[in-house]
Amino acid sequence: MDAKLQFKSIFDLLRRFPDEQSCIDHLTALRWNGVVISPFDPGSTVYKCKKNRYKCRNTNKYFNVRTGTIFEDTKIPLQKWFMALYVFSSHKKGISSNQLAKDIDVTQKTAWFLLHRLRYAFDHPNFKKELANHVEADETYIGGEYKNKHTDKKVEGTQGRSLKDKSPILGIMERGGTLIAQQVPDTTRGTIQSIIFNHVKKDSTISTDEWKAYVGLGKKYDHLIVNHSAKEYVNGMAHTNDLECFWSHLKRGVDGIYHWISTKHLQSYVDEFSLRFNTRTDFTCQRFDLILSNMCGRLTYKDLIRDE
């Protein structure tokens, strides 16, 4: 990798992108790689205009590098976006909107919306590929422990696997490789196994705990089981310790940084932690460019706050 393109601190980032034009040039190179394509008509001829604008010949519309991306229709300079992305992606447990607002000098509401737009880009297709070799599968619940809740927040019958006030997440991870974490409506056999079948290559080895939803996986996989209810955490090659490590990291981030997450936005937070985990061996600049490469697509504030 070119040493001039690397950065591993905020000081390096500002030296690499000292002004708005340097940010525009970097984004242009990542998005189009020298061949500008119209977002309105990919087959159209494109004319370069003044002030970093382009014109689509077939539609007669003007556009720039932000058009059709998470950066569209925002007055925030790209330099602030880049700084927010660097801080957000490199901090292992994320950053709160209150803290980011202070760091880049915007309002808390703006910082909250900015972070959700960045999370939109964290849902990267590179980490949706089929898993193989030795895979671990496990589920966890986000919503807080019953014993830790205030009296007026406690709901009876919510201990264990109850879904009254908790949201389940299924994790599937190839050992030493990619993690896929997905919010699920329940942890029944049909729900769990359909996702596993879609993401794990047939005849792979899969390790799970003894939960009944995993019964029957032996028909398609070499199914290894570890009995957590009997305080067994490793049984030969059978364990889910790698996934347990991720769950621990996710929950500490939620508890320590975000404190509370709504069910509506839970998946975007899971994507945030998943991408940081999946790029744990990458250089900071590699992770930075990977997220920028998935910037296409818009998330409006109206869509973000809309009730499901």
CA distances from 62 to 28, 40, 70, 92, 147 (A): 16, 9, 18, 39, 57
Spatial separation of the C-alpha atoms in residues 40 and 157, rounded to whole Å = 53
Q: What is the pLDDT of residue 246?
A: 96
Q: What percent of the chain has a predicted confidence (pLDDT) above 70? A: 91
pLDDT, tens digit, for every residue of 264-308?
A: 999 999 999 999 999 999 999 999 999 999 998 888 888 888 875
User: Over 70: is that where the pLDDT of 148 sits?
Assistant: no
Q: What residue type is assigned to position 275 of the chain? A: L
User: Over 80: is that where the pLDDT of 147 sits?
Assistant: no
Of the two residues 116 and 158, the one the predictor is more confident about is: 116
Identify the DSSP state of 49: -
pLDDT, tens digit, for every residue of 160-171?
A: 666 667 899 999
Q: Is 244 helix (H, G, I), strand (E, B) or coil?
A: helix
Q: What is the pLDDT of residue 187?
A: 93
* Average pLDDT of span 208-212: 94
Q: What is the pLDDT of residue 130?
A: 93
Angle ∠(47,49,54) on CA atoms, nearest 5: 55
| Contacts within 8 Å (CB) and 24+ apart, 105-114 | 105/80, 106/76, 106/80, 110/76, 111/84, 113/301, 113/304, 114/76, 114/81, 114/84
Query: What is the H or E stretch that residue 138 is in?
Result: strand 134-142
Q: What is the pLDDT of residue 157?
A: 60
* Average pLDDT of span 154-162: 63
Q: What is the pLDDT of residue 273?
A: 96
* Average pLDDT of span 108-114: 95
* Residue 7: pLDDT band with limits 50, 70, 90: confident
* Average pLDDT of span 147-168: 68
Q: Which of 83, 110, 123 is closest to 296 using CA atoms?
A: 123
Q: What residue type is assigned to position 66 of the chain? A: R
Spatial separation of the C-alpha atoms in residues 198 and 192, rounded to whole Å = 10
Spatial separation of the C-alpha atoms in residues 248 and 246, rounded to whole Å = 5
Q: What is the pLDDT of residue 254?
A: 92
Identify the DSSP state of 219: G
Spatial separation of the C-alpha atoms in residues 240 and 243, rounded to whole Å = 6
* Residue 48: pLDDT band with limits 50, 70, 90: very high
- In the chain the domains, ranked by start, together with CATH numbers, are 128-261 (3.30.420)
* Residue 149: pLDDT band with limits 50, 70, 90: low
Q: If phi over 0 gives left and psi between -120 and 50 gives alpha, with beta otherwise, what is residue 138? A: beta
Q: Which of 57, 240, 74 is closest to 65 using CA atoms?
A: 74
Half-sphere CA count of 206, side-chain side, radius 13 A = 28
* Residue 8: pLDDT band with limits 50, 70, 90: confident
Residue 192 near residue 214 (C-beta atoms within 8 A): yes
Residue 174 near residue 193 (C-beta atoms within 8 A): no
Q: What is the average pLDDT value for the chain, to the nearest integer? A: 91
User: Over 70: is that where the pLDDT of 2 sits?
Assistant: no
* Average pLDDT of span 211-225: 95
